[in-house]
Amino acid sequence: MIMLFWYAFVLVGTLALGALALLFNFLVAPLRTLAWIIQKIAGAIAVLDLALLAVAGIEVGFGNLGLKEGLLFGGVLAACIVVGVLTQWFIERPTRLERREAEAELRRRDMAMEDEIRRRMADRWDRTGGGAAPHDGREVIDTTVAPDPRSGPGCR
């Protein structure tokens, strides 16, 4: 008898904490919480649909199920899958605030990169005395000039 009360206490406590968590989630993000609830209901319907399909298949034999029953079970299952996918997409997509923060972070990184480039260019300018990079003795070949086609191999 004591074990029964213990199990009842644990069950009531779990349900109370679950309801409290659902309430807080609903206060923080009501649309996402609603989508989560719809997703769970669609999952439960899909499980019941599969269970009913198994019971019907056992009672009349899977080969004796008609086209109407097969389409009904398959249609309900497909609808539950579509609802589950759409609600999961809605739950995981970034909020407007998260998108704004990501854009601001991208702008901060771009500005930091531009500042680093400016700093390096200023350091290079200071090292060379305001001119071009120091010459190290290697020959510079201009590859932007197209060669004269009349001076190529095999031409006279």
What is d(CA 143, CA 103) in angstroms, rounded to the nearest whole number? Answer: 40
Residue by residue, DSSP assigns 56-121 as HHHHH-GGG--HHHHHHHHHHHHHHHHHHHHHHHHHHSPPHHHHHHHHHHHHHHHHHHHHHHHHHH
By the 8 A CB rule, do 45 and 73 touch?
Answer: no
What is d(CA 47, CA 45) in angstroms, rounded to the nearest whole number? Answer: 5
Give pLDDT, residue 52: 87
Q: Which amino acid is at 148?
A: D
The pTM of the full predicted model, rounded to 2 decimals, is 0.58
Contacting residues for 155 by C-beta, under 8 A, at least 6 apart: 149
Contacting residues for 73 by C-beta, under 8 A, at least 6 apart: 49, 52, 53, 56
What is d(CA 76, CA 134) in angstroms, rounded to the nearest whole number? Answer: 75
Q: Nearest-CA neighbor of 22 among 11, 14, 33, 7?
A: 33
Consecutive H or E run containing 13 = helix 2-28
Q: Which amino acid is at 113?
A: M
| pLDDT tens-place values along the chain, 156 residues long | 778 888 999 999 999 998 898 888 888 888 899 999 999 999 999 999 988 888 877 676 666 667 777 788 889 999 999 999 999 999 998 888 889 999 999 999 999 999 888 888 888 777 766 555 555 556 656 666 666 666 666 555
Residue spans per domain, the chain: 21-93, 95-127
Give pLDDT, residue 13: 92
